Amino acid sequence: GQSLEQPSEVTAVEGAIVQINCTYQTSGFYGLSWYQQHDGGAPTFLSYNALDGLEETGRFSSFLSRSDSYGYLLLQELQMKDSASYFCAVRDYGGATNKLIFGTGTLLAVQP
């Protein structure tokens, strides 16, 4: 089977740093994406890692280790507006018909 494991909930305080981990077990792997979803809203794209290493976009960074089937999303200088669900997703195939396999999501609560 195919699975992506994420913690179900994480709590942190404003200004802190939080890391959301994702381990995956899939038949194919062509990259790891992260999406953010606010309550009642649509998921929106945050970052994508196709190769090992760290990708940085402002306060958010994403890391991938393909040998460990592991990645994480790092959020720095947390703000209240970062309270949301975060999903990791694996692209399963390199061709035109590839699809994303999503994890079950991590609910991040940022407290004042």
Out of 8, 51, 67, 81, the residue judged to bind other proteins by CB under 8 A: 8
Among 39, 67, 81, 97, binds other proteins (CB under 8 A): 97
Binder of other proteins out of 102, 109, 111, 112 (CB under 8 A): 102
Per-residue b or e along 21-48, where b marks 16 or more CB atoms closer than 10 Å to that residue's CB: ebbbebeebebbbbbbeeeeeebeebbe
The answer to the question of residue 105 lying near other proteins (CB under 8 A) is yes
Express the helix, strand and coil content of the chain in percent, nearest 5 each. 5, 55, 40
Tell me which of 18, 90, 101, 108 binds other proteins, using CB under 8 A: 101
Q: Tokens in use for 30?
A: 């062509």
Interface residues toward other proteins, by CB under 8 A: 4, 8, 31, 33, 41-45, 48, 87, 89, 91, 94-105
